[in-house]
């Protein structure tokens, strides 16, 4: 059982209200408490009643950090396509500038943290599918559990207005204690059963792969990533908490993420980091080029060797390395990048993988880096602008947040963004799953089709459809 000193938040809140009056604008109050340890899924589920539709979940591949947010103290969103990264950054800086932050720990990812993401291409025609997700969508949560290197912290964030009185803070204090009393392990309900899978425009998709591949041999386009969709229908409402827990169990070596919005939930298990910033240290990942896993250790090793020497896949990978190297060179002083890819083996697939490390210059913020990198040729193509235009033109799918940056940043500028692949959008008793692949001049549509099949597997399994 957990309880937190209640008088403290009221006193702090009154100071924040005084500051709001002085400044004539809202003021953020944020406080951090250390907890004895708490299961992240217990926390996520305990918010189901009060905060359904306003939750997020994040875990990195090494289980170094878990972030689970419940409720929205402040939402930053934008329907404007131009400067969307910059706009989010400016609004975030404004909130932090006046904020009162009570945090006596030096851990990253605690105190005010913004969690969310961007759509893949704000200039693509919108469809109903992603109506709940604007082109930029970020939450500053009301309550957030951080588990960092096995230590647990609870952050509480309140936006105090000029006209607020102590009753607001009393309400928060009561709500928080209620939440902490309700930490429970959820009763397992019968899982939803898959009744139908619709494969969206399979033949048309394969034709577009052939057409684009043909076009690539003439240049100047070198690579275009094309994606497709599966629509799944279940016999009842899907339990997103359970799907996240399944992903955690089944795809341990990946980032697990979820972002709810107005009843929908976008979630997935991606192996691909876009960029991580920890102080001035920058980490990025080149991931492109794929082959299946073997059924025996020997076959698996042989397939890995084949991938490491396959020209088509090496070229597909090389484009990503070149672009990331160039993009980071503008913001980093030192870049360390091995000259040959290695293998990343995950449950259903193996990839060519090149890790990148850099040292950021003073003025390079995490969102600036995200802007420079997105989309890398692993998700868009090369050259970047023309590839995205080609996708806009030929791809039937509305990608929404699929293949786009999703992640978090803390109030000290640390944070991490992953590329939201191996993902799906959960909508009541239905789900859309997305998968794509890098098309280069000698791509063959049948093998690209099979490759996307491998990439659907993690989500299909987590949904009980495999």
Ligand X SMILES: C=C(O[C@@H]1C=C(C(=O)O)C=C[C@H]1O)C(=O)O
Which positions are catalytic?
Answer: 223, 272
Dihedral, CA atoms, 327, 329, 334, 339, nearest 10 degrees? Answer: 70
Q: Are the C-beta atoms of 133 and 53 separated by less than 8 Å? A: no
Own/partner contacts of 200-204, CB < 8 Å, gap of 24 or more, are 200/228, 200/229, 200/230, 200/231, 200/396, 200/397, 201/228, 201/396, 202/228, 202/449, 204/396
CB of 307 to Mg ion, least distance (A): 10
Which of Mg ion, ligand X, none binds 455 (CB below 5-8 Å, type-dependent)? ligand X
CB of 351 to ligand X, least distance (A): 5
Which of ligand X, Mg ion, none binds 351 (CB below 5-8 Å, type-dependent)? ligand X
Q: Identify which of residues 45 and 290 has a Cβ nearer to ligand X in the complex.
A: 290
Interaction with ligand X in 274-293: which residues (CB under 6 A)?
287-290
Q: Does 435 bind ligand X (CB under 6 A)?
A: yes
- The region of 79-87, 194-202, 233-241, 288-296 touching Mg ion under the rule CB under 5 A is 288-296
Q: Identify which of residues 95 and 403 has a Cβ nearer to ligand X in the complex.
A: 403
Whether residue 151 is annotated as binding a ligand: the answer is no
Q: Does 438 bind Mg ion (CB under 5 A)?
A: yes
Whether residue 175 is annotated as binding a ligand: the answer is no
Q: Say which residues have a Cβ less than 8 Å from residue 136's Cβ, sequence separation at least 6.
A: 76, 77, 78, 84, 85, 87, 88, 116, 117, 118, 119
List the one residue from 157, 290, 350, 376 that touches Mg ion (CB under 5 A).
Answer: 290
Which of ligand X, Mg ion, none binds 225 (CB below 5-8 Å, type-dependent)? ligand X
Direct distance between the N- and C-terminal alpha carbons of the chain, in angstroms, rounded to an integer: 39
* H helix and E strand count, the chain: 12, 21
Interaction with ligand X in 131-170: which residues (CB under 6 A)?
none
- The region of 54-62, 213-221, 335-343, 436-444 touching ligand X under the rule CB under 6 A is 436-444
Looking up tokens 């589920």, which residue turns up? 45
Q: Identify which of residues 141 and 289 has a Cβ nearer to Mg ion in the complex.
A: 289
- The region of 140-148, 329-337, 427-435, 438-446 touching Mg ion under the rule CB under 5 A is 438-446
d(CA 273, CA 283): 8
List the one residue from 269, 437, 440, 462 that touches ligand X (CB under 6 A).
Answer: 437
d(CA 266, CA 139): 14
Return the SS3 of 401.
Answer: coil
Q: Identify which of residues 111 and 289 has a Cβ nearer to ligand X in the complex.
A: 289
* Upstream peptide bond of 383 is cis (omega within 30 degrees of 0): yes
List the one residue from 132, 390, 455, 461 that touches ligand X (CB under 6 A).
Answer: 455
Interaction with Mg ion in 418-437: which residues (CB under 5 A)?
437
List the one residue from 379, 387, 431, 440 that touches ligand X (CB under 6 A).
Answer: 379
Total number of residues that touch ligand X (CB under 6 A): 19
List the one residue from 438, 457, 459, 460 that touches ligand X (CB under 6 A).
Answer: 438
Torsion region of 378: left, alpha or beta (phi above 0 gives left; psi -120 to 50 gives alpha):
alpha
* Joined tokens for residue 395: 């791809």
Q: Are the C-beta atoms of 227 and 436 separated by less than 8 Å? A: yes
Secondary structure of 290-352 in the HEC alphabet? EEECCCCHHHHHHHHHHHHCCHHHHHHHHHHHHHHHHHHHCCEEEEECCCCCEEEEECCEEEE
CB of 210 to ligand X, least distance (A): 16
- Which x/- pattern over 215-254 shows residues binding ligand X (rule: CB under 6 A)? ----------x-x---------------------------
* Upstream peptide bond of 184 is cis (omega within 30 degrees of 0): no
* Joined tokens for residue 11: 């006193």
CB of 224 to ligand X, least distance (A): 11
List the one residue from 88, 144, 421, 431 that touches ligand X (CB under 6 A).
Answer: 421
Dihedral, CA atoms, 392, 398, 404, 407, nearest 10 degrees? Answer: 160
Dihedral sign, Cα of residue 320, residue 321, residue 322, residue 328: positive
Which of ligand X, Mg ion, none binds 287 (CB below 5-8 Å, type-dependent)? ligand X
Binding site membership: which residues?
316, 451
Which residues contribute to the site for Mg ion (CB under 5 A)? 290, 437-438
Question: Interface with ligand X by CB under 6 A: which residues?
Answer: 225, 227, 272, 287-290, 316, 351, 378-379, 403, 421-422, 435-438, 455
Annotated binding site for Mg(2+): 316, 451
């Amino acid at each position: 059982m957990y309880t937190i000193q209640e008088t403290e938040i009221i006193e702090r809140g009154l100071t924040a209200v005084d500051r709001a009056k002085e400044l004539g604008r809202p003021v953020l109050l944020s406080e951090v408490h250390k907890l004895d340890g708490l299961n992240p899924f217990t926390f996520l589920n305990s918010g189901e009643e009060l905060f359904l539709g306003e939750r997020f979940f994040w875990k990195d591949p090494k289980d170094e950090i878990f972030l689970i947010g419940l409720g929205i103290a402040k939402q930053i969103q934008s329907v404007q396509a131009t400067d969307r990264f910059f706009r989010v950054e400016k609004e975030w800086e404004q909130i932090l500038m006046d904020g009162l932050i009570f945090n006596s720990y030096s851990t990253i990812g605690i105190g005010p943290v913004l969690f969310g993401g961007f759509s893949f291409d704000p200039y693509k025609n919108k469809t109903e599918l992603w109506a709940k997700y604007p082109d930029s969508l970020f939450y500053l949560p009301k309550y957030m559990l951080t588990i960092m290197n096995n230590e647990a912290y609870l952050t509480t964030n309140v936006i105090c207005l000029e006209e607020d009185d102590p009753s607001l803070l009393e309400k928060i204090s009561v709500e928080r204690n209620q939440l902490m009393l309700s930490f429970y392990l959820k009763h397992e309900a019968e899982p939803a059963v898959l009744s139908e899978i619709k494969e969206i425009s399979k033949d048309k998709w394969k034709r577009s792969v052939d057409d684009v591949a043909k076009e690539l041999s003439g240049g100047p386009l070198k690579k275009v990533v094309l994606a497709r969709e599966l629509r799944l229908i279940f016999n009842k409402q899907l339990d997103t908490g359970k799907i996240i827990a399944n992903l955690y169990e089944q795809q341990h070596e990946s980032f697990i993420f979820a972002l709810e919005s107005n009843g929908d939930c976008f979630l997935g298990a991606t192996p691909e980091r876009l960029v991580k910033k920890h102080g001035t240290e920058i980490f990025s990942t080149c991931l492109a080029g794929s082959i299946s896993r073997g059924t025996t250790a020997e076959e698996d090793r042989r397939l890995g060797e084949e991938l490491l020497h396959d020209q088509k896949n090496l070229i597909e990978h090389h484009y990503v390395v070149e672009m990331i190297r160039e993009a980071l060179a503008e913001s980093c002083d030192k870049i360390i990048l091995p000259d040959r890819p290695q293998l990343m083996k995950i449950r259903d697939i193996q990839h060519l993988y090149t890790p990148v490390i850099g040292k950021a210059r003073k003025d390079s913020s995490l969102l600036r880096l995200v802007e420079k990198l997105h989309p890398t040729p692993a998700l868009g193509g090369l050259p970047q602008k023309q590839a995205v235009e080609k996708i806009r033109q030929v791809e039937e799918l509305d990608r929404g947040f699929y293949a786009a940056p999703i992640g978090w940043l803390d109030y000290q500028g640390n944070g991490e963004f992953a590329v939201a692949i191996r993902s799906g959008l959960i909508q009541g008793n239905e789900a859309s799953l997305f998968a794509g692949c890098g098309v280069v001049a000698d791509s063959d549509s049948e093998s690209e089709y099979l490759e996307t099949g491998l990439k659907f597997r993690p989500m299909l399994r987590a949904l009980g459809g495999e």
